[in-house]
Amino acid sequence: MSKSNRPNANPQTCSTKDLHYITSDKPVFSCKNCSIVIGLQDELCSKGFTGGSGRAFLINSTINTNLGKKEERKLITGTHTCADLLCASCGSSLGWKYLKTPSDDQKYKENRFILEQAKIVKENNW
Ligand SMILES: [Zn+2]
């Protein structure tokens, strides 16, 4: 085998497409674009948030999501370090994750996720 000029391996794009499906009848949030489940409504922390496009939910955990670039956002409550939250299936933007918050009274948001209501579907399986 001769040496080929391989492009540099790009570790940032080597995520495996490991998607999860919820088979139970728990109420879930799913991606508005591709309908994959992105979180359990059980994990919901607060509904009183405002995102870029209106109402948003704060949730403890998500599934089938990827994080985008880390960035600092200046909010009314101070400078937060956030990363975009993207659907792992279709790549749509769903909201963001709080990585670092400016003060103790904001700390409850750290490592939690904002889901923008306009980007997701709330599915109630009665
Ligand atoms: Zn999607």
Going from N- to C-terminal start, the domains of the chain cover 3-123
**Cα 40 from Cα 29, distance rounded (Å):** 6
Architecture of domain 3-123: Beta Complex (2.170)
Distance 4 CA to ligand 1 centre (A): 36
Distance 3 CA to ligand 1 centre (A): 39
Per-residue pLDDT, 48: 86
Distance 103 CA to ligand 1 centre (A): 33
Distance 32 CA to ligand 1 centre (A): 7
Distance 17 CA to ligand 1 centre (A): 13
Distance 59 CA to ligand 1 centre (A): 17
Distance 52 CA to ligand 1 centre (A): 18
Q: Work out the mean pLDDT of the chain and round it to a whole number.
A: 86
Is-contact 44 67, C-beta < 8 A? no
The confidence band for 104, taking pLDDT boundaries of 50, 70 and 90, is: very high
What's the whole-model pTM score? 0.80
The neighbour count for residue 59, using CB atoms within 10 Å, is 26
Distance 71 CA to ligand 1 centre (A): 22
User: Is 24 exposed, middle or buried (CB count within 10 Å of its CB: 0-12, 13-18, 19+)?
Assistant: exposed
pLDDT exceeds cutoff 50 at 12: no
- Segment 65-86, tens digit of pLDDT: 999 999 999 988 899 999 999 9
